[in-house]
Amino acid sequence: MARRTGRRPGNPDTREAILASARDAFAERGFDGASIRTIAAGAGVDPALVHHYFGAKDKLFVAVMKVPFDPGELLPEIVAGGPGGVGERLVRTFLRLWDSPAGAAGVALLRSVLSNEWTARLMREFVTTQILRRVMSGLDLPAAEAPLRSSLVASQLVGLAVARYVLRVEPLASVPAEVAVAAIAPTVQRYLTGELTGVFDLAEAGERAIGGPPSA
Amino acid sequence: MARRTGRRPGNPDTREAILASARDAFAERGFDGASIRTIAAGAGVDPALVHHYFGAKDKLFVAVMKVPFDPGELLPEIVAGGPGGVGERLVRTFLRLWDSPAGAAGVALLRSVLSNEWTARLMREFVTTQILRRVMSGLDLPAAEAPLRSSLVASQLVGLAVARYVLRVEPLASVPAEVAVAAIAPTVQRYLTGELTGVFDLAEAGERAIGGPPSA
């Protein structure tokens, strides 16, 4: 393997070993359960070296997923404008990324996620802990409602990506991004902050009926 | 190949030849553009034999897609109840199919659709002409709005299927179907019959800006 120069620090073999160990750890234990110590042990290096190469655990997760953006930088501005327009800002940013040159990598990533259970686990964990949790934490909502609201947002956004960029269902595939924003932002806003009449009553009744909450 | 007995009529090789020819024709020319005559010619049989084996062209498309239901039988009851509850009836029926034993085949089909351009074309054509067109035709809406409304419905339903059954994003993957219906039916209802403020103005402006309507 050719030795890289430039902004990525360190020995490329060590770097790859850390990424491979991190990929396994995040898929097996989830983001919260995977520790830098375990990841370092899996790669046979000192934990300090993981910090030195990648910084904090969330940055390491971004590097593992090879996503062309850092949610830790992108999301604060989406949340900062207040809960009122958060759906619109989220959908607009989502489409801006997909419509950028990085979108082609997104299509490949989505295909891989949908055909491979291991990649699916990683992506589910990434979207939940790195994107939706950050968005939800900026909104003043009952904590118990956040997981279902998040997964509803995920259902609309992943469906938008699949319909517009993978299946290319017309005219949604060709309309300007602002048309899709105008149509879909109210859906995401409702899932994030709307009343969702009956949904949480039904969900509680379902939990009682099956003897406990669904596995998280 | 073992000779089938039971309700499927005719020589299995002939049957498979017709299905293969139909698959190509629907993917290349679309449902409306593919004629029974062309499909028969591709299979080297008489058009009357296609009718004899499969019935009308829409039944042939159902056989090609191997979907475990016939939209021609399922959709009239969804539409018949009137436009008011059509979103709810559509989401409920969608989830009933996916939660049935046929759902496992649905996951495999969805994975194949998302990884193979040819299957994607077929599925896009099937969903558009066999499902969404039938639903839209029962609603009293401007014809020009139907395609965009349909593709918005597709974005939410495909996203629901991917999030609940393929990625298994919790808690959406585990909640009772009625919870998902209560949450998602209003979205689908709005896409089908709601006002969609600004969407069609923006879409028209976009068409003028790029010198014509997006390719259909």
Give CA–CA dist A205/A197, Å, rounded: 14
Q: Using the predicted structure, report yes or no on whether residue B2 has a pLDDT greater than 50.
A: no
Determine the pLDDT at residue B120.
86
Instruction: Give B106 to chain A, closest Cα distance, Å.
Output: 13
Confirm if A180 and B178 have CB atoms less than 8 A apart: no
Instruction: Determine whether the interchain pair B160/A164 forms a contact, defined as Cβ–Cβ distance below 8 Å.
Output: no
Give CA–CA dist B92/B190, Å, rounded: 16
Option in A114, A127, A158 nearest B111 (CB): A114
Q: Which residues of A89-111 are buried (b: 16+ CB within 10 A; e: fewer)?
A: bbbbbbbebbeeeebeebbebbb
Number of Cβ atoms within 10 Å of the Cβ of A138: 17
Q: Using the predicted structure, report yes or no on whether residue A3 has a pLDDT greater than 50.
A: no
**pLDDT tens-digit readout, A203-212:** 777 666 555 4
Which of B207, B78, B91, B103 minimizes the C-alpha distance to B154? B91
- Mean predicted confidence (pLDDT) in B65-71: 83
Determine the pLDDT at residue A178.
95
Which of A174, A173, A178, A177 minimizes the C-alpha distance to A162? A173
HEC secondary structure over chain A: CCCCCCCCCCCHHHHHHHHHHHHHHHHHHHHHHCCHHHHHHHHCCCHHHHHHHHCCHHHHHHHHHCCCCCHHHHHHHHHHCCHHHHHHHHHHHHHHHHHCCCHHHHHHHHHHHHHCHHHHHHHHHHHHHHHHHHHHHCCCCCHHHHHHHHHHHHHHHHHHHHHHHHCCCCCCCCCCHHHHHHHHHHHHHHHHHCCCCCHHHHHHHHHHHCCCCCCC
**pLDDT tens-digit readout, B112-139:** 888 888 888 888 888 888 888 888 888 8
Instruction: Determine whether the interchain pair A120/B184 forms a contact, defined as Cβ–Cβ distance below 8 Å.
Output: no
Token pair in block for residue B84: 């008011």
Which of A155, A146, A172, A168 minimizes the C-alpha distance to B187? A155
Which residues numbered 163-192 in A keep a CB inside 8 Å of some CB on B? 163-164, 166-176, 178-179, 182-184, 186-187, 190-191
Q: Using the predicted structure, report yes or no on whether residue B192 has a pLDDT greater than 70.
A: yes
Q: Using the predicted structure, report yes or no on whether residue B5 has a pLDDT greater than 50.
A: no
Enter the pTM of the model. Answer: 0.84
What value of ipTM does the predicted structure carry? 0.84
Instruction: Determine whether the interchain pair B167/A124 forms a contact, defined as Cβ–Cβ distance below 8 Å.
Output: yes
Q: How high is the mean pLDDT of chain A?
A: 87
Interchain contact A160–B (C-beta under 8 A): yes
Give CA–CA dist B78/B87, Å, rounded: 9
Largest CA distance in chain B: 58
Task: Return the minimum-mean-pLDDT range out of A183-187, B43-47, B71-75, B170-174.
Answer: B71-75
For residue A152, list chain B residues with Cβ-Cβ distance below 8 A.
172, 183-184
For residue A178, list chain B residues with Cβ-Cβ distance below 8 A.
202, 206
Q: Using the predicted structure, report yes or no on whether residue B9 has a pLDDT greater than 70.
A: no
DSSP B102: T
Highest mean pLDDT of the ranges A143-147, A211-215, B114-118: A143-147
* A215 HSE (CA, 13 A, CB side): 1
Token pair in block for residue B179: 């919870």
Determine the pLDDT at residue B215.
45
Q: Is B143 helix (H, G, I), strand (E, B) or coil?
A: helix
Confidence of residue A9 (pLDDT cuts 50, 70, 90): low
Give CA–CA dist B48/A60, Å, rounded: 63
Q: Give the helix, strand, coil percentages of chain B, each rounded to 5.
A: 75, 0, 25
Instruction: Determine whether the interchain pair B162/A163 forms a contact, defined as Cβ–Cβ distance below 8 Å.
Output: no
Q: Which domains does chain B have, with CATH numbers?
A: 12-65 (1.10.10.60), 71-196 (1.10.357.10)
DSSP B26: H
Confidence of residue B1 (pLDDT cuts 50, 70, 90): very low
**pLDDT tens-digit readout, B175-184:** 999 999 999 9
Determine the pLDDT at residue A198.
84
Mutation target among B109, B167, B215 for the A interface, most CBs of A within 10 A: B167
Beta-sheet strands, E only, within chain B: none
Token pair in block for residue A52: 């030195």
Interface A:B, Cβ pairs < 8 A: 188
Largest CA distance in chain A: 59
Name the residue in chain A with its Cα closest to that of B118: A167
Which of B147, B159, B155 minimizes the C-alpha distance to B213? B147
Instruction: Give B96 to chain A, closest Cα distance, Å.
Output: 16
Confidence of residue A4 (pLDDT cuts 50, 70, 90): very low
Which of A54, A56, A57, A55 minimizes the C-alpha distance to A32? A57
Give CA–CA dist B121/B102, Å, rounded: 22
Instruction: Give A16 to chain B, closest Cα distance, Å.
Output: 26
Instruction: Determine whether the interchain pair A202/B176 forms a contact, defined as Cβ–Cβ distance below 8 Å.
Output: yes
For residue A114, list chain B residues with Cβ-Cβ distance below 8 A.
110-111, 114-115, 162, 166-167
Instruction: Give A77 to chain B, closest Cα distance, Å.
Output: 25
**pLDDT tens-digit readout, A47-63:** 999 999 999 999 999 99
Of residues B153 and B117, the one with the higher pLDDT is B153
Which residues numbered 92-131 in A keep a CB inside 8 Å of some CB on B? 110-111, 113-115, 120, 123-124, 127-128
Token pair in block for residue A197: 């009449």
Instruction: Give B50 to chain A, closest Cα distance, Å.
Output: 29
Instruction: Give A196 to chain B, closest Cα distance, Å.
Output: 6
Confirm if A106 and A98 have CB atoms less than 8 A apart: yes
